[in-house]
Amino acid sequence: MENRGIGPWVSRRRQRSLGDVAIVFRGQELRYEVLADRILKLANALADRGVRAGDRVAFLGNNHPSLLETLFASATLGAIFVPLNTRLAPPEIEFALSDSGATILVFTADLTELARQGSTGTSASRQIIVDGPAPDDAVEEFESVVAAGSVADRDDAVDLDDPAIILYTSGTTGRPKGAVLSHGNLTWNCFNALVDYGITGTERVLLISPLFHVASLSMGALPTLLQGGTVILHERFDPGPVLETIQSEGITMLAGVPTTFQMLQEHPDFAGTDISSLQHLTCGGSTMPERMLQAYEERGLSFSCGYGMTETAPGATAMPPRASREKMGSSGVPHFFTDVRIVDPEGNELPAGEVGEIIVKGPNVIKEYWQRPEETASAIVDGWFHSGDLGYFDEDGYIYISDRLKDMIISGGENIYSAEVESIIMELDAISGVALVGVPDEKWGEVPVAVATLKPGVSLTEEDVINRLSGRLARYKIPKRVVFTDELARTASGKIRKADLRSMLTPDAVTPAPTEGRQ
Q: Which residues contact 493 (CB under 8 A, 6 or more apart)?
A: none
What is residue 3's predicted lDDT score, i.e. its pLDDT? 92
- Are the C-beta atoms of 214 and 106 separated by less than 8 Å? no
> Does the pLDDT at position 405 exceed 90?
no
Domain boundary among 111, 141, 159: 159
Assess if residue 375 is contained within a domain: no
Measuring CA to CA, which residue among 474, 465, 476 is closest to residue 422?
465
Assess if residue 478 is contained within a domain: yes
Assess if residue 469 is contained within a domain: yes
Number of structural domains, the chain? 2
Assess if residue 338 is contained within a domain: no
CATH of the domain at 471: 3.30.300.30
In single-letter form, the type of residue at position 444 comes to: W
pLDDT in tens, 330-364: 999 999 999 999 999 899 999 999 988 999 999 99
Average pLDDT over residues 271-286: 89
Assess if residue 55 is contained within a domain: yes
What is residue 511's predicted lDDT score, i.e. its pLDDT? 45
What is residue 516's predicted lDDT score, i.e. its pLDDT? 37
Query: Residue 381: in which H helix or E strand, if any?
Result: strand 380-381
> Does the pLDDT at position 286 exceed 60?
yes
Q: Torsion-angle region of residue 397: left (phi > 0), alpha (psi -120 to 50) or beta?
A: left
Assess if residue 374 is contained within a domain: no
What is residue 385's predicted lDDT score, i.e. its pLDDT? 98
pLDDT in tens, 488-497: 887 544 567 7
> Does the pLDDT at position 406 exceed 70?
no
Q: Which residues contact 218 (CB under 8 A, 6 or more apart)?
A: 181, 186, 189, 190, 193, 313, 314, 315
Q: What is the 3-state secondary structure (H, E, C) of 391-447?
A: EEECCCCCEEEEECCCCEEEECCEEEEHHHHHHHHCCCCCEEEEEEEEEEECCCEEE
Assess if residue 230 is contained within a domain: no
Residue 511 in 3-state DSSP? coil
CATH of the domain at 96: 3.40.50.980
pLDDT in tens, 107-158: 999 999 999 999 999 999 999 999 999 999 999 999 999 999 999 999 899 9
- What is the percent of the chain where pLDDT is above 90? 73
Assess if residue 10 is contained within a domain: yes
Count of Cβ atoms closer than 10 Å to residue 349 Cβ: 11
Strands (E), 61-156: 80-84, 104-108, 126-130, 139-141
d(CA 415, CA 359): 19
Angle, CA 379 vertex, CA 398 and CA 402 arms, to 5°:
30
d(CA 63, CA 298): 31
What is residue 422's predicted lDDT score, i.e. its pLDDT? 86
Domain boundary among 107, 128, 159: 159
Q: How many residues does the chain have?
A: 519
Domain boundary among 159, 176, 209: 159
Angle, CA 46 vertex, CA 31 and CA 156 arms, to 5°:
85
The whole domain housing 85 covers 1-14+34-159
